[in-house]
């Protein structure tokens, strides 16, 4: 369900940025149509050879070049945003994928990595998931991020590589 919400949000962001991208594309086509119209008017003006009309044509050409430059900048910004979103999506790893990497120890009620370290059940279910190793204490484990404490009255396997200052 969480993945569905995340996918919906990411899809919404993609639609938003693609919409902005295509909006700018439509503005470019409008400008190109305006440019064509102005060029045709310029040809008519050149035929008349009136100096006043030539000045108007030059100012319109400058305006068009400024607008084209602005559109190129906007396009490059849109492409960068889309590229950043695609990179974020590729790096995204779902909570379920992270949970699948670590076996669940039913006797202790926690997930344990290959070195015997206990993962915080709160942090691993956050969005995005955080693989936070809990610090062993005398009768349980404590998360260094969220401060969650898991009590264990019976002896438990000590981790092979305990964090500094543990026990």
Q: 95-119: per-residue pLDDT in tens?
A: 777 778 888 888 777 888 888 888 8
Per-residue pLDDT, averaged over 77-102, amounts to 75
Q: What is the C-alpha separation between 32 and 34, in angstroms, rounded?
A: 5
pLDDT of 26 reads 76
Q: 4-63: per-residue pLDDT in tens?
A: 677 777 777 666 766 767 777 777 778 888 878 877 776 665 555 556 677 788 888 888
Q: What pTM value is reported for the model?
A: 0.39
Per-residue pLDDT, averaged over 147-153, amounts to 83
Q: Is 147's pLDDT higher than 80?
A: yes
Residue 124 is classified by DSSP as G
Q: What is the C-alpha separation between 9 and 4, in angstroms, rounded?
A: 9
Q: Is 128's pLDDT higher than 60?
A: yes
Q: What is the C-alpha separation between 120 and 146, in angstroms, rounded?
A: 9
């Amino acid at each position: 369900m969480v993945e569905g919400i995340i996918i919906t949000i990411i899809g919404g962001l993609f639609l938003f940025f693609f919409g902005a991208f295509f909006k700018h594309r439509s503005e470019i086509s409008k400008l190109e149509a305006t440019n064509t119209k102005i060029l045709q008017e310029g040809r008519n003006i050149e035929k008349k050879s009136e100096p006043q009309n030539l000045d108007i044509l030059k100012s319109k050409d400058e305006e068009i070049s400024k607008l084209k430059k602005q559109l190129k900048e906007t396009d490059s910004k849109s492409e960068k945003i889309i590229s950043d979103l695609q990179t974020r999506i590729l790096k995204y790893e779902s909570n379920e994928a992270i949970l699948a990497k670590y076996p669940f120890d039913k006797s202790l009620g926690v997930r344990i990595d290959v070195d015997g370290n206990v993962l915080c059940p709160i942090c691993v279910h956050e969005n995005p998931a955080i693989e936070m190793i809990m610090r062993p204490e005398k009768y349980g484990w404590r998360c260094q991020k969220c401060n969650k404490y898991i009590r264990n009255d019976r002896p438990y396997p000590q981790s092979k590589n305990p964090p500094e200052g543990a026990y």
